Amino acid sequence: MRKLFFILSIIPFITSCLKYSQPKSLSLSGEYVIDKITYQETDGTPSPQDSTYLTGSVYYDNSEIPSLDTIIVGDTKLHMDYSIIRFDPTQNQFGGTNWNTEYFYFVHGQRTAYDLGNIKFNCDGTVRIWKILDDSDESLTIRTSGYWDNTGRKSVVLSLTRIGP
């Protein structure tokens, strides 16, 4: 009886399990349009001052990537494949798209299912790191690495929608 009680009391511990969550497979490749920009600037106070730019707005920032210094929200596009991120599209004579600026990138830091990692690339001698906040089938949300200036730390969150392969 004692053995039976011991076995019955230990069964819940043996059969219980922890959920294993594997890091998500990122699907970054495709053509994207920037649909929304959230600009955050912290001037030393605990709460950041947010500005949101929606479709039709123009966001200007000369400290980011040269090809993204002026962003027309809802119109500015970028393209990613498995190793190259491209900016500044123009239409060619055959109806296709030529991308005038491109950088090689790699994703690092994806260790858990909850941390999607960072996109890291070298832009004209400066390393840029974009934090991947969300990656779904038809959208991508990233946060730029930001910088410190005389007014405080700045961060830009880009919400992208996939519009093509």
Band (pLDDT 50/70/90 cuts) for residue 21 is: low
User: What are residue 108's phi and psi, to 5 degrees?
Assistant: -140, 160
Band (pLDDT 50/70/90 cuts) for residue 36 is: very high
61-118 pLDDT, tens digit each: 776 666 677 888 999 999 999 899 998 899 989 988 899 999 999 998 887 777 888 9
Measured distance CA(142)–CA(26) in Å, rounded: 13
Domains of the chain: 26-164 (2.40.128)
pTM score, whole prediction:
0.75
